[in-house]
A and B are shown apart, each in its own frame.
Chain A
Amino acid sequence: MRRRLRIGAAGGVLLAFAAAGCSNGTNGAASAGPPRPGGTLTLGIAINPECVDPQQAGANGEVNVARQLVDSLTDQDPRTGALRPWLATSWRSSADATRFTFHLRKGATFSDGTPVDAAALRANLDGIVRLGARSPIAGSYLAGYAGTTVDDPYTATVRFRTPSAQFLQATSTPSLGLLSPRSVAADPGGRCHGTRLVGSGPFVFSGYQQNQQVVLRKRSGYDWGSPLWRHHGAAYLDRIVFRVLPEPGVRTGAVQSHQVDAITDVQPSDEATLTKSGVTELIRANPGFVFSLYPNVSRAPLKDPVVRQAIQLGVNRREVVDTVLTRSYRPASSVLARSTPTYTDLSAKLAYDPAAARAALARDGWRAGAGGIRTKAGHALRVDVVFTATFNQSQQVLELVQQQLRAIGVDLRLRPTTPGELTSVQQAGTYDFSWGNLTRADPDILRTLFSTRFHNADRLTDSPLEKDLTAQAATLDPERRAALSARVQTALVAGGYAIPVFELTQVVGLGPTAHGIGFEASSRLQLHDAWTSR
């Protein structure tokens, strides 16, 4: 669980994409003519994928690779959030959201020839639970897992001890993608680097060179793709090369000079340069929890709701986006991103109002002190924020927030840390704010972050949110879930339990030879429809 529970840490941030208003999810191929099968697509990626096993992968760069190797039971429509059949042709849930029965399609096979059947599903889910801490994301989707019953060769029932409404959406994620039973039994460490990593997806693993590249090969005979994809049958590309280019400037140069067909993680500072040089941008906002400050309410001064609410009013989100980000990003208008199912617009409550913030602090007894920083009973209004540079622009954003908060008399100190250090600081609770986002196209992300039984980002002891968080996990009724989720979002904003700042966006830079690259709902690149005109 550890990796998942680090907000903002490399392994914990799930970068996902859902439909942004300006993009239909795949880049236009109108001028390039009909898709041409064959060839190699080279993608410049920002991090070395330490683990390409979908069930163990955590970081976005890892899951982008892993997604191509496996199929999922369901697929989520990026536009509506609705689930569509994929490996499962139909499914049924019990009213209390503890039992889920899946009917699997016949004919799908793993690339080692074994069939995708109910026994394989059981082996996978049991295997993920056995992976334990090695499987931070998939493991958390299976919290409360009681077991899987094989009803007939192609029907299985998954049972949970506690209501788990989020499980259906989870089946659409690559984290619960299915591997061959032989793969499940293999050494998890080896699987990370592709050894005996066998899925049923449109691509198969071909080679891994640490800090250099990961190569995938087309699976010939593949014919059980998601109905959301544009074409049926095998993938267009013969090969995909994910080339590791950590330096943003190098990635930008590589796509400008056509050494790679496309790059991920385009930096805000490079967007203007890239578009000027004819590179097309593929933009998608991440669903889930937006980039936010999470107050540690277990200690002063953020124990005081007035301080938290003043900080909520003292952050100028529009200025953050206009100054250090680009038009591809949006200021937060709730704690959830617009693309998340059950998102509730709370922009009125998140308006910038420094005068009201100052007045609230003054009423609370915080008087202006030395250097414009307020004090109360001899204590300066000084709070720190621990963060890692998961998202490259985090430091710039926080420096601007720091400057904004100084105007209302709050001294925000930046504490850059390494992921390992962050974990120990968060466990010890010796910080005021943490920083990060968490991506998932399901409102259960609220429970993951704020329930005292899960991550508990705020270090709450007696949470006023617990009742609603538990209730939304126990209902499959979309309207009731939406109402409960809206209540939690409102309470988080009003009580200053999270200070949302901006919606994370993924920006992919496409050279003239890259076509058909798309995104899937809960997250990452979808390359089945991709092709190259190189």
Chain B
Amino acid sequence: MTVFADLPVRAAPVRGALRLLRRPDLALAVLVLAVVVAAAAAPGVFTARDPLRGVPADRLRPPGPAHPFGTDYLGRDLYARVVHGAGESLRATVVAVLIALVVGTVLGLLAGFVGGAVDEVLMRIVDVLLAIPGLLLSLTVVTVLGFGTAQVAIAVGVAGVAGFARLSRSEVLRVRRTGYVEAARGAGVRWYGVLARHVLPNATGPIGALAALEFGTAVLAVSALSFLGFGAPPPTPEWGALVADGRNYLAGAWWLATMPGLVVAAVVLAANRIGRALEHTEEGT
């Protein structure tokens, strides 16, 4: 009986951060996300140009010193549009991940902790959600909800619920059988106390890693929906919409679709790298 071996262990945050930054690829990923988040928070710091006002005489200029990402068909600075689009796209992504995280975790906790019929019913619903491809589910939801950034965020969030529910349920099942939970129950702590104080905190690690991975997926899904025209109405510069706008100009102005496309790719890769690292940190402890 090694009762003490499965006691909750917490990695020292400072040590963890240092370890993350010793790896250059990971550092780069963190830097990319930090820059993008900063651009979303304060676009004015990154560019002084108006993302909505173009100079028709300067239209379709290739990337150069004056316009690092080139200009679009109305002569708008593409870099300014990508920077201002960060806020729009990231907000939708964060909302989507939060919806998936909160709803999914609550469902998983309930199913895992209560068990029995509740578990059966919730998990069969989750099975159905998992059976439908994520993007297809998002498309269906957004078609019902209508056009707009908030609608896109909800649609992407709904598609992510199932993954979080599955994971948090399995974590709860794992933690529930540990000695300290048994001990707490045995000591007469009420069920919600056990759930909140012992089960939830010790089930969060893998869920955090999944959230980081889900962030990358959600950036992609949000961009995909806005590419298809479900996002904010033009001329709002959402990343997916920028790629869609550039699609018809691929032959003559490659930068229109390529530049925002590269930014989306960089953010997705960075989020994936960080998610992977968190996963390994979890496994290491």
Contact = CB atoms under 8 A, between A and B. Distances in A.
Contacts of A403: 52-54, 74
B16 interface: no
B251 interface: yes
B233 A273 contact: no
Contact of A249 (B74, B147, B248): B248
Secondary structure at the B interface, as helix, strand, loop or mixed, is: loop
A324 B54 CA distance: 12
Contact of B73 (A273, A324, A406): A324
A396 B247 contact: no
Interface in A250-291: 252, 267, 269-270, 272-273
Interface stretch (A39-47, A226-234, A354-362, A408-416): A408-416
A249 B250 contact: yes
Which of A252, A270, A273, A403: most chain B CB closer than 10 A?
A403
Which of B229, B251, B252: most chain A CB closer than 10 A?
B251
Contacts of A252: 251
A214 to B, nearest CB: 25
A506 B250 CA distance: 21
Contacts of B59: 323
A415 B73 contact: no
Nearest to A324: B73
A305 to B, nearest CB: 27
B52 A270 contact: no
A400 B234 contact: no
Interface residues of A, number: 27
A399 B251 contact: no
A402 interface: yes
A249 B251 contact: yes
A245 to B, nearest CB: 14
Contacts of A392: 248
B8 interface: no
A413 B148 CA distance: 13
B248 A402 contact: no
Secondary structure at the A interface, as helix, strand, loop or mixed, is: helix
B235 interface: yes
A414 B233 contact: yes
A319 B74 CA distance: 10
Contact of B234 (A324, A414, A417): A414
Contacts of B52: 403
Contact of A267 (B75, B245, B248, B253): B248
Given A395-B234, A416-B233, A269 B249 contact: yes
B56 interface: yes
Interface residues of B, number: 21
A269 B248 contact: yes
A272 B74 contact: no
Interface in B82-132: none
A239 to B, nearest CB: 30
Given A252-B251, A392-B248, A416 B234 contact: yes
B74 A416 contact: no
Given A249-B250, A269-B73, A416 B229 contact: yes
B251 A323 contact: no
B150 to A, nearest CB: 16
B234 A272 contact: no
A201 B73 CA distance: 43
Nearest to B146: A421
Interface in A36-57: none
Given A322-B56, A323-B74, A399-B74, A273 B251 contact: yes
A270 B74 contact: no
B243 to A, nearest CB: 13
A252 B252 CA distance: 12
A416 B147 contact: yes
Contacts of A319: 56
Contacts of A402: 235
A399 B252 contact: no
Interface string B59-90: 10000000000000111000000000000000
B199 to A, nearest CB: 46
A402 B53 CA distance: 10
Interface in B227-285: 229, 233-235, 245, 247-253
A8 interface: no
Interface string A199-214: 0000000000000000
A442 to B, nearest CB: 33
A361 to B, nearest CB: 20
A331 to B, nearest CB: 14
Contact of A270 (B54, B235, B251): B251
Interface string A417-445: 10000000000000000000000000000
18 contacts: A248-B248, A269-B252, A273-B252, A322-B56, A323-B59, A323-B73, A324-B73, A395-B245, A396-B73, A396-B74, A400-B56, A402-B235, A403-B52, A403-B53, A406-B53, A414-B234, A415-B233, A416-B234
Interface of A: 248-249, 252, 267, 269-270, 272-273, 319, 322-324, 389, 392, 395-396, 398-400, 402-403, 406, 413-417
Q: Which 4 A-B pairs rank lowest in CB-CB distance, beginning with the nearest? A: A323-B56, A273-B251, A269-B249, A414-B233
Given A323-B73, A389-B229, A416-B229, 10 more contacts: A249-B250, A269-B248, A272-B252, A273-B251, A403-B52, A403-B54, A406-B53, A414-B233, A414-B235, A416-B147
Interface of B: 52-54, 56, 59, 73-75, 147, 229, 233-235, 245, 247-253
